[in-house]
Amino acid sequence: MVKVNIVAVGKIKEKYYEEGVNEYVKRLSRYAKVTVTEIKERNIVTEPSESEIQEILKREGEDILKALKGYVIAMAIEGKKLSSKALAEKVKSVKDKQGEITFVIGGSYGIADFVKREANELMSVSDMTFPHTLFRVMLTEQIYRAFTIIEDGKYHK
């Protein structure tokens, strides 16, 4: 069974986001072994300086690197945009060749450049910016959708 890892900075504080993620992880368990690793979000001051932001990214990035396994896709606004079907093709390819895929969701300030360089690819879903806790729900739904496309299920329309 393929392994799907989601490495995300921060804890979900909102119960409704947590329930959404848990629902899609439960659905995904039919197709893959799913793990969600939460990376500690570093202290965020009200208006951090650029050097403080870089230090936060560095510390979060070091923790992210420890959790990377298999084929790594880092979520980044400058990444390649994929349709749901293209994501399904990517997941199928990784599933068939490597058997393990990791998606990385950064925190409030994104993902450190050195983590992006370690990733096999960068992916974006939009030019818009989303709260990272909401995006976790969106990503787990899209991963679930990808597997239903691969399996020719009825979920994807």
pLDDT tier at 157 (50, 70, 90 boundaries)? low
pLDDT tier at 153 (50, 70, 90 boundaries)? confident
CA distance 102 to 34: 10
Q: pLDDT of 106-140, one tens digit each?
A: 998 999 999 999 999 999 999 888 888 999 999 99
The pLDDT, as a whole number, for residue 156 is: 60
Higher-confidence position of 48 and 70: 70
Domains and CATH numbers, the chain: 2-150 (3.40.1280.10)
Residues 6 or more apart whose CB falls under 8 angstroms from that of 32 comprise 1, 2, 3, 4, 147
pLDDT tier at 43 (50, 70, 90 boundaries)? confident
CA distance 85 to 23: 21
Q: Which residue blocks in the chain are alpha helix, DSSP H?
A: 15-28, 50-67, 84-97, 113-118, 132-150
The DSSP element (H or E) to which 38 belongs, if any, is: strand 32-39
Whole-model pTM: value is: 0.94
Backbone angles phi, psi at 117, to 5 degrees: -70, -30
What SS3 state is found at 14?
coil
CA distance 141 to 137: 6
Q: pLDDT of 141-152, one tens digit each?
A: 999 999 999 998
The pLDDT, as a whole number, for residue 129 is: 86
Q: pLDDT of 6-35, one tens digit each?
A: 999 999 999 999 999 999 999 999 999 999
